[in-house]
Chains A and B, each alone.
Chain A
Amino acid sequence: METSVAPFREALESLDRIKADNIFQQVLVKRTPIEAVEQVVVPALEQIGAAWHAGEVALSQVYMSGRFCEELVDKTLPPSDPDRKHQPRSAIVVLSDYHDLGKRMVYSVMRASGFELFDYGRMDVDALVKRAVSDKIRVLMISVLMLPSALKVREVCSALKKNGADVKVIVGGAPFLFDSELWKEVGADAMGSSASQAVTIVERMMGELQ
């Protein structure tokens, strides 16, 4: 593993932007931008995500780390850069409820890991299904905080199926963390327990969708 990961992660967790930026610039001296992202940024964010899941770091650290890395990656690897991942058309949304921190964290971590995706903001079931079908989305990430919203994922999945859409649905958010069976119950294809896990799941699905 790249030796810069641990100090980079430490700098992110302590919200020391200057130190994190310095470490990243040093890595760029010997690596290409995409290598720096894949070998330093992605593993650091993965470790922070796993640490959050284990109760070792807080949401504020995950959010601020993701936001900072997103800015860093945008500077070194602009959205039009050909090295950005060739990926299935993806989108992220907050379903029904009004809590968007989870979505923002996943969005930042995905972009900081080289992915591009549509940000649908907040939507209800019908509008979401219509938009996902019209955009020909292949991977749909749904974030919720409230249990009633989590239960509505079932309606999304069955409506997508009825419309013949070939979409993998990944869910995340508190209700799924508190009930490990819930994602299957609502018909999702996977559940991410942290923002960085979304990256791992999408990468796995890229293989399945090809």
Chain B
Amino acid sequence: MTSATMTSMQRVLTTLGHQEPDQVPLFLLTTMHGAKELGMSIEQYFSKAEHVAQGQMLLLEKYRGDCVYPFFHASIETEAWGGTTLFSPEGPPVCGDPIITRPTDIETLSSPRVADSPALQKVLATIRELKQQVADTVPIIGVAISPFSLPVMQMGFHSYIELMHEQPTLFDRLMQLNEEFTVEWANAQLEAGATAICYFDPVSSTTSVPRGLYLKTGQQVAKRTLARIKGPTATHLASGRGLSIVSDIADTGTAVVGVSALEDLAELKKAAAGRVTLLGNLNGVEMRRWTPQQAELEVKRAIAKAGRGGGFVLADNHGEIPWQVPEAVLLAIRDAVARWGRYPLTWAADWKD
């Protein structure tokens, strides 16, 4: 199939099979932008499932991306653990005070149930609504924070690093609790209609921990967790580096790796070696001030480096496009994909950086 006749689902599945679809799939991972579409504050927007479902459908229509993204914000998971979410007018909601204030709190901590969390139920309702609207034509990408990365929100990053190095028994217990939660949460989203789960795992990136530690910790957690998630997963490093562990991440059974703008896509594609599909790696922070011409150049560069042979989905490098990125840039990205992303990518062989 060489013309743009595939559905988004066909396009994505073809590239995941390391074949060339009709054109490079584009995941425009906009979360807060739905609030702009509905003329609401970010807090108001995330207060109801129907807002987010409606926002995602409007964004799909406007930017013609290849997925819908019923992700609210990372802190929604900590709400299930008894935490709070803090909203701001121009940025993603963040979690409030840690739920674990001393490592010994882990001894008495228990995993929350998805059914008991109104916040998580709101996400599931969004997924069900989106499934009714797109059926099997557009992938619905659910999100679960990795059990290994969740503690950054549960207890703060520095306390978590200290726990990892100094209190292995409590670290193991926290991983067990988090694994139970993540598996239940991911499977609930799949049952509600999500096509795949984006497994956010920035702590596994080599930006956060060295490879040796990852192999003993984050990778083992991912192997156990992903094996129990009843659907495809995409491991996202949320801007963190991962070039030296791409093959290790592939060993966890994931289908996709979300990669950083700090690393070269051509090198990443080589390292992926047909075992995992790459998702990335447009620089979301710089994107805020791109001109349409820059947007086109960046899209072209990414496609030239990683598009050939499939196994590539164009996206930002963080898994969430900043609120400050203007509509004109998103439209320019979309148009550039339509212009330069059509297979076969004959022009890409002559690309010079």
- Identify the A interface with B (CB < 8 A): 15, 55, 57-61, 63-64, 96-101, 104, 146-149, 151, 174-175, 177-179, 181-182
Contact = CB atoms under 8 A, between A and B. Distances in A.
Interface residues of B, number: 36
A178 B322 contact: no
A61 B210 contact: yes
Contacts of A57: 210
Interface stretch (B20-28, B84-92, B175-183, B193-201): B84-92
Nearest to B211: A58
Interface in B166-214: 206-210, 213
Nearest to A178: B285
Interface of B: 86, 88, 90-92, 94-96, 156-158, 161-162, 164-165, 206-210, 213, 239, 241, 243, 261-263, 283-286, 288-289, 322-324
A60 B322 contact: no
Contact of B165 (A15, A55, A151, A182): A15
A178 B239 contact: yes
Contacts of A61: 210
Given A97-B94, A98-B86, A147 B286 contact: no
Nearest to B98: A98
Given A100-B157, A101-B157, A175-B285, 14 more contacts: A59-B161, A59-B209, A60-B161, A63-B158, A63-B161, A99-B157, A100-B156, A146-B91, A147-B91, A148-B323, A178-B261, A178-B285, A178-B286, A181-B289
Contacts of A55: 206-207, 241, 243, 262-263
B213 to A, nearest CB: 7
A60 B239 contact: no
Report whether over half of chain A's contact residues are helix, strand or loop; otherwise say mixed. Answer: helix
Contacts of B92: 146
A174 B283 CA distance: 12
Nearest to B317: A178
Contact of A59 (B86, B162, B208, B288): B208
Contacts of B207: 55, 58-59
A157 to B, nearest CB: 18
B32 to A, nearest CB: 10
Q: Which 9 residue pairs across A and B have the least CB separation, nearest first?
A: A148-B91, A178-B285, A101-B157, A179-B285, A58-B210, A179-B286, A60-B209, A60-B161, A58-B209
A151 B156 contact: no
B209 A147 contact: no
Contact of B158 (A58, A96, A101, A147): A101
A151 B285 CA distance: 11
A98 B207 CA distance: 19
Contacts of B243: 55
Contacts of A64: 161-162, 165
Nearest to A176: B285
A146 B288 CA distance: 14
A174 B207 CA distance: 11
Nearest to A63: B161
A186 to B, nearest CB: 12
Most chain B CB inside 10 Å of its own CB: which residue of A55, A57, A97 = A55
B158 A104 contact: yes
Contact of A182 (B156, B164, B285): B285
A167 to B, nearest CB: 25
A177 B322 CA distance: 15
A60 B165 contact: yes
Contacts of B161: 59-60, 63-64, 101
